[in-house]
Chains A and B, each alone.
Chain A
Amino acid sequence: MKVAWAPGVGVPVALLAFIFFLPPTSSAQPRDGYVGVEACKVCHPDKVESYSATTMGRLFLRHPRNDQERLGCEACHGPGKAHAEAGGGKGVGGLTSFSRKDPTPVEARNAVCLRCHERTARLFWKGSPHESRDVACTDCHRVMVRVSERGQLARATVVETCAQCHIRSRVQLMRSSHMPLREGKMDCMSCHNPHGTGTEKLLRANSVNDTCYKCHAEKRGPFLWEHTPVMENCGNCHDPHGSNHEKMLKLPKPRLCQQCHTDIGHASSPQTRTTRFVMGRQCLNCHATIHGSNHPSGNFFKR
């Protein structure tokens, strides 16, 4: 099978070299009602210092690209003149604050972030399950300090961040049959986009199966002989978050297969514990190509 390949890595490398040496943008004077970063630093030097070490801080405080970013702290917190002139203090001067206990509505807090971030992964945020339950951006992200290596997360890792609420998903990582999440080779974001998608369960791909095919493309087919529940939804048999049954199956074999198969003989038999249908790989001792077969005589998934 022949395919036309995408451009090689040469193009992005050349672009990278070009962009790296682009001239910096210039700074501008504070606008009316705004006091500028230096004024914030007078009372909040530690906050400004920790913020300047974050990705956003580097951008806003040192290399802003537009007027909004040039506002520094006030780009998110709003104009600070009234706050400064009143001598500061919590809730003074109408600043927008982002702590969980702040009375500013979650929608208003999130709107500040979305001014710049409502694209790519956040395109479907509005109306998404998290947005509709008033989850704040700052429930999962920290802007002022660097807690995680990437993503400015509220916890050190993606899994820990999601586990603040999704406790059950976290404990499933401890199952004997699991994907390598607890080994740090995957995380929740490998399959889900918590900011919203056009797909069920906040999946990044277009369906459950498309999500699995990203790494398990051998199961995509199409096959000559399709096993229809497999083709429709991997989740009919597997629990991707972890299981106490082999291969992350939802039930132990042979009972899993016997939910649907009542053919004459072994499939409809209750079986005894020592038969070949219960030992070893159970039904898969013979039906090895259960995800679909491309063998002309593979209609029973034995070839």
Chain B
Amino acid sequence: MGRAGTPLLLLAGFVGLVLGSGRASAQNEIFGLKLDGSLELGGRAFIERPSDRQSAKFEEYRDIPSGLFVEDLRLRLSSKDDRGDFEFRAKDAGEEDQRFSLRSSRPGLYDFGFEWDQIPHIYSTTGRMLGSEVIRGVFTLPSPRPSLSAHNSAPALDEIGVRWDTAEFSFSVSPTPDWELRAEYIRIKKEGDRPMGMSFGGYGNNFREILEPIDQTIHDVTLSASLARENYSLQFMYNLSRFQNALDAVVSDNPCRAPEVRNPTCREGNSTLGAPPAGQIALAPDNLAHTWSLSGGVDLPLRSRATGTLAYSWRLQNQGFVPHTINPALAGNSALALPQSDLDGDVRVLLFSLNAASRPVRPLTLTGRYRLYDFDDRSDEILFPALVNADRFLLPRARLANRFPFTSHSAGVDARWRILVPLALTVGMGWERWDRNRYRGAALTDEFKPKAALDYTPTDWILLRATYAPSRRQVNDYNPQVDATHQFASLRKFDEASRDRQRGDFLVQLTPLDTLTASLTYSIRDDDYTDSLLGLQEDQNWAAGIDLAWSPVERVSVFAGYMREEYLARQRSRLRVAAQLQNTTYDWVARTFDAIDTFAAGVNAFILPGKLDLGLNWNFSYALSRMRAFNPATPTGGTPAENAGAVAANFPAIEDALHRAEAFLRYQFRPKWTAKLQYVFESFNKTDFRTDQLAPATGDDIFLGNDLKDYKAHILALILGYRF
């Protein structure tokens, strides 16, 4: 059914039902059931509309067509005693982001729901691509290959995006007030394409940006039962999640080389050293996960309660391997025979958590918690006698595909003491341990997390919450997994490195008048990676904001808000080239700084109560990102080219701004009818040197040449509402 078909069909059904119920009785009854509902039908016109090339960001997750649209349709049938009901709902019917739901419930007894939801996710509307995709996921180019410059005038791709279609069934029943049984099935279907790079060798060779074909389905089934008695409760849950990918691999021709024919317009990528005519990437494999869990809670003496969960997951993956290469010059090499046909992937995940809370005396609350998460990867460790680098050349060294099991423990105790009626102080200590295997940098890390928190309500209109939570992660035996050309001994990967963290959160809520509320918030986090001579050394962020809501008169409410956020990351690295593996003058430091300002304001006014109301909303967000870099010392000691390669420089700033304003006037011109006049302004501006004006043919590489374009939209809509 076309774009217009669904709303027209819904409209006809709605009118038929309303007329039918009207004939049956003046009380809107049909088939002996009460009928009520509403319809919001509108027309939309663009005073200024983003062009197709500008629409990627504008319609990133939505569809905003001009013309007739059904914003919302709701029909509800209920029994005369209001015991049970049945509701149908449609939002944005006929559009790419439409949503339908069907729901039947009898409060306290059962609830049945079905929902169909579409989400478009558009990545780009400005890509270009030469060649064809006759077979899904196989991107071919003519032979001999076109000159690289020909890619600049390649046909434009209509749209690069993926649509998610989600269907969800759920049913829960409470045969008695203490029992609840629930079944849920969710199916997510994703179809479309998204940009993907494919290289044809090492970093001196070329790559081509293609489209990753997306044809994936997720099935998710959950069955649960819960029992709640006066002193205890239990809950059992089983979940099955299955991922299916209709495609195993994506194949692309190499723009720099056809079989036996070099592309003379390529400089490096057409090297005779095994340049492959095509390459192949394996797509995400099918997988399956079962999860069982048992949770419970029990009341204990001294006003205490203990709760716990035991969950066990079993993740499986046995998708057959694709061959090492599709390069005919290498494919027959005996060293590339696969040791086994698939991974026989098998991961067992155990979660155990235990929590206890107690109030032995009224002003004191004690809580304790322990959590174990064990990720036991039992998949095969496969030793490959040789590998192929990007379909280009043989890597004759044997390579083991390691497994990386880990276990994490976390525990903590808190004591909260209400010192006075308005003041409560919480102190606590937490501990977290990660236990990894010998293939990781830090086999064992311990982190200690003291905490102090204050809740203060000096009067009934002031609430102050403050939390200070520093932590220290200590790594005593870091193994940098060094070899001749890879990681430095002094590098520390931030997720496994020693770290001192300072963290604070503050919130003040003021309600000096019933009509005035103000919230002030401030949070800060400062991570210092104490042992990281190379790698991430410092990671800071803070945010401060204010929200105000005020109703000067009963008919009018005003709100405004502002937040400033800043992020800073400092990292240090050292250029390593063949003859200069440990030249400290090749050190460079990068400081990445982000600042984001977000504003919001609005007014809601009932100009004529029950008749005419007005709404104004405004949001603006501006983000600035700077990537700065410098050398602590002047690079020396290598060749002029090597020294020049070690010189760090700032990158241009990256900026984006999103601006949205909305105004509406709604008038109730009949008891059941409303008319809403709406105006929306949106604009998006972005500056990103990495993608702006990127030509498809850049050096030996081929890009899609896509980027998100700025847009500006002025939208006018008139929406008629009917409620009965």
Q: Which residues of A contact B (CB under 8 A)?
A: 1, 3, 5-7, 9, 11-13, 15-16, 19-20, 22, 24, 55-56, 58-59, 62-63, 65-66, 69, 100-101, 107, 116, 118-120, 123-124, 126-127, 131-134, 164-165, 167-168, 171, 174-176, 180, 183, 185, 198-200, 206-207, 210, 213-215, 217-226, 228-229, 231-233, 236, 244-245, 251-252, 255, 258-266, 268-270, 272-273, 276-282, 284-289, 291, 293-300, 302-303
Contacts and interface: CB of A to CB of B under 8 A. Distances in A.
Given A288-B196, A295-B280, 5 more contacts: A132-B414, A198-B308, A279-B690, A279-B691, A295-B282
Contacts of A5: 221
B581 A222 contact: no
B282 A217 contact: no
A120 B224 CA distance: 9
Contacts of A218: 216, 243, 245, 284
A296 B545 contact: no
28 contacts: A12-B169, A120-B224, A127-B356, A131-B357, A167-B519, A174-B621, A183-B62, A185-B61, A198-B355, A200-B371, A207-B373, A218-B284, A222-B347, A224-B382, A232-B406, A233-B495, A252-B690, A259-B571, A262-B487, A270-B629, A276-B207, A286-B207, A288-B197, A291-B284, A294-B317, A297-B384, A300-B390, A303-B281
Contacts of A120: 180, 182, 224, 226, 235
A103 B73 CA distance: 43
Nearest to B537: A259
A263 to B, nearest CB: 5
Interface in B260-293: 279-282, 284-289, 291, 293
A62 B83 contact: yes
B603 to A, nearest CB: 17
A66 B108 CA distance: 11
Given A252-B627, A264-B485, A280-B694, A226 B404 contact: yes
A77 to B, nearest CB: 20
Between A221, A259, A268, the greatest number of chain B beta carbons within 10 A of the residue's beta carbon is seen for A259
Given A133-B453, A206-B373, A217-B241, A265 B287 contact: no
B460 A101 contact: yes
Nearest to A63: B83
B713 interface: no
B590 A118 contact: no
Given A24-B81, A296-B338, A199 B353 contact: yes
Interface in B67-111: 81-84, 97, 104, 106-110
B574 A262 contact: yes
Interface stretch (B41-49, B153-161, B644-652): B644-652
Contact of A119 (B226, B369, B690): B226
B576 A262 contact: yes
B465 to A, nearest CB: 7
B565 A262 contact: no
Contacts of B243: 217-218, 220
A266 B410 contact: no
Contacts of A124: 295, 297, 307, 355
B321 A22 contact: no
A100 B594 CA distance: 38
Nearest to B174: A65
A214 B371 contact: no
A221 B289 CA distance: 10
Given A120-B180, A220-B287, A232-B406, A280 B209 contact: yes
B207 A295 contact: no
Interface stretch (B4-12, B19-27, B137-145, B695-703): B695-703
Interface stretch (B322-330, B605-613, B667-675, B715-723): B322-330
Given A244-B596, A273-B651, A288-B198, A222 B575 contact: no
A255 B654 CA distance: 14
Given A263-B485, A270-B588, A19 B173 contact: yes
A201 to B, nearest CB: 12
Contacts of B375: 231-232
B318 interface: yes
A24 to B, nearest CB: 7
Given A176-B684, A183-B61, A244-B656, A220 B289 contact: yes
Contacts of A225: 401
Contacts of B295: 123-124, 198
Contacts of A284: 197
Contacts of A100: 460, 511
Interface in B154-191: 169, 171, 173, 177-178, 180, 182-183, 185, 188
A284 B210 CA distance: 12
Contacts of B311: 198, 206
Contacts of A273: 649, 651-652, 689
A58 B305 contact: no
B108 A221 contact: no
B228 A119 contact: yes
Given A16-B110, A224-B382, A285-B197, A252 B343 contact: no
B536 A263 contact: no
A237 B455 CA distance: 33
Contact of B61 (A55, A66, A180): A180
B321 A224 contact: yes
B109 A22 contact: yes
Contacts of B588: 270
Contacts of A7: 183
B701 A285 contact: yes
Interface string B489-509: 001011100000000000101
Interface string B342-353: 010111010101
Between B410, B581, B703, the greatest number of chain A beta carbons within 10 A of the residue's beta carbon is seen for B703
B629 A281 contact: no
A107 B646 CA distance: 62
Given A3-B288, A167-B521, A286-B207, A215 B318 contact: no
B616 interface: no
Contacts of A277: 203
B285 A270 contact: no
B634 interface: no
Contacts of B212: 288
B594 A244 contact: yes
A252 B241 CA distance: 32
B195 interface: yes
The 8 A-B residue pairs with the shortest CB-CB distance, nearest first, are: A127-B357, A119-B228, A244-B623, A198-B353, A12-B171, A270-B648, A295-B282, A286-B199
Contact of A123 (B281, B297, B395, B509): B297
A259 B494 contact: yes
Nearest to A272: B649
Given A258-B571, A270-B648, A296-B322, A6 B576 contact: no
B683 interface: no
A119 B235 contact: yes
Contact of B284 (A6, A219, A263): A219
Given A217-B218, A228-B440, A295-B321, A265 B377 contact: no
B698 A174 contact: no
A176 B404 contact: no
Contacts of B323: 296
Nearest to B179: A119
Nearest to B596: A244
B322 A295 contact: yes
B570 to A, nearest CB: 10
A175 B596 CA distance: 9
Nearest to A214: B220
A300 B684 CA distance: 36
A161 to B, nearest CB: 14
A260 B690 contact: no
B316 interface: yes
A124 B213 CA distance: 42
B576 A268 contact: yes
A252 B592 contact: yes
Contacts of A226: 402-404
B530 interface: no
